Amino acid sequence: MHSGRLIFSQVIDFVPAHEFSQCVNRYRGNFRTRRFSCWDQFLCMAFAQLTYRESLRDIQTCLRSIQPKLYHAGFRGRMARNTLAKANENRDWRIWADLAAVLIAKARSLYASEPMGVDMEQTVYAFDSTTIDLCLTLFPWAQFRRHKSAVKLHTLLDLRGNIPRFIHVSSGAMADVRSLDLLEIEAGAFYVMDRGYIDFARLYAFTQGLAFFVTRAKRDLDFTRQSYREMDKSTGLRSDQTILLRGPKTSNRYPVPLRRVSYYAADIDKRFVFLTNNFELPPLTVAQLYKCRWQVELFFKWIKQHLRIKGFYGTSINAVKTQVWIAVCVYVLVAIIKKELDIQRNMTEILQILSICPFENMPILQAFSLECEPNNMFNDCNQLSLFDF
């Protein structure tokens, strides 16, 4: 039964309070804090993400306009633009990274049985990065060109539910392939990457870690064929080979056999050549796995359109990482709410609804209901029909 609580308060209820306190205490987030705790900071930033606030002043103006409702929404400190700016700049961003890890673990368990386009029992990750352009004057620590700054979000996406498993924020100058060194390799899992991540010494680490990778081969790959397998070319497959690298450097960096699968996509008139260290999957499944990599591109497009990660409220690296990780927390929180409440709407619709009614006093499921009352406005009035023959 509804107890008269605000929708925003009901959303925040899905954040585990005990684990939140552990994350804060781990990095002494509330040390010498009297009026504006980490909880207040999180609520302000979550409100900004849900309602598309453009700046710190925008957040302050909107929250102060509904001052009587803030206590019932969970706010205890007084919201001030300067206070929030200092909190984002000084409080350790790892608080929010650890909180995101807690929410991600919960979301992954909820979406463990979700389909992902390929019939497989193993975990499949898509790994890629996206670049966010910044002003060089405001973000000099992120310079990567002579007159330009940028940050990169290196993201490992779990294709079951499209939940980000790993995110690393770096300057735009960091090469994509270097982010492979930051991954904790999960034995038995598949990692799908584009050919920008080809570094055979790093790929060999996946083989040694008992994990599998699928990537595209470069055109100038130097190899010798050891064997080949028959296939049905009507499916688009062209070859399925076991190869051994023979380049002077690559043969030392990856000394064991690789599998090379060639596939022709008739719908786009393009040929793809894939490399993998898995020799058991059907060759067509290898091609389908790489096609699923596009989900990480859609994820980047979605969060840039619906979350505040293109314009930042602070200019320090701590403020940027704080905003990115709280945005991830909000994204995963919405995914958890969708699954636990069995909401029959997509993520975009849920976020749009939350953006206009966070301080409405109604049951949260009522806000997401697909049923609408019929509009009888024209049946009860005395307006004559224009086309009454």
Inside any domain, residue 111: no
pLDDT higher at 244 or 381:
244
Q: What are the angstrom distances between the C-alpha of 314 and each of 192, 291, 326?
A: 34, 37, 14
326 and 244 in a single domain? The answer is: no
CATH number of the CATH domain containing 212: 3.30.1370
348 and 282 in a single domain? The answer is: no
Q: How many domains does the chain have?
A: 2
| 309 within 8 A of 303, measured Cβ to Cβ | yes
pLDDT higher than 60, residue 98: yes
Among 260, 292, 324, where does a domain finish? 292
pLDDT higher than 70, residue 153: yes
Tokens 């060999």 identify what position?
204
274 and 328 in a single domain? The answer is: no
Inside any domain, residue 19: yes
Q: What is this structure's pTM?
A: 0.88
Residue-level pLDDT at 119: 83
| 260 within 8 A of 289, measured Cβ to Cβ | no
288 and 321 in a single domain? The answer is: no
204 and 288 in a single domain? The answer is: yes
Domain residues for the domain of 206 are 194-292
Which pairs from 204-212 meet CB under 8 Å and 24+ separation? 204/253, 204/254, 204/255, 204/256, 205/180, 206/277, 207/254, 207/256, 207/277, 209/185, 211/185, 211/186, 211/187, 212/122, 212/188, 212/276, 212/277, 212/278
Length of the chain equals: 389
DSSP H helices in the chain = 7-12, 17-26, 38-51, 56-65, 67-73, 81-90, 94-110, 200-208, 250-253, 283-292, 294-306, 317-340, 347-356, 364-367
Inside any domain, residue 129: no
Distance CA 283, CA 260 (A): 9
Q: Rounded to the nearest 5°, which phi and psi values hold at 246?
A: -130, 10
Average the pLDDT over 127-135 and give the result.
94
Inside any domain, residue 66: yes
Inside any domain, residue 158: no
Read off the pLDDT of residues 190-222 as tens digits, 9 standing for 90 and up. 999 999 999 999 999 999 999 999 999 998 899
Inside any domain, residue 128: no
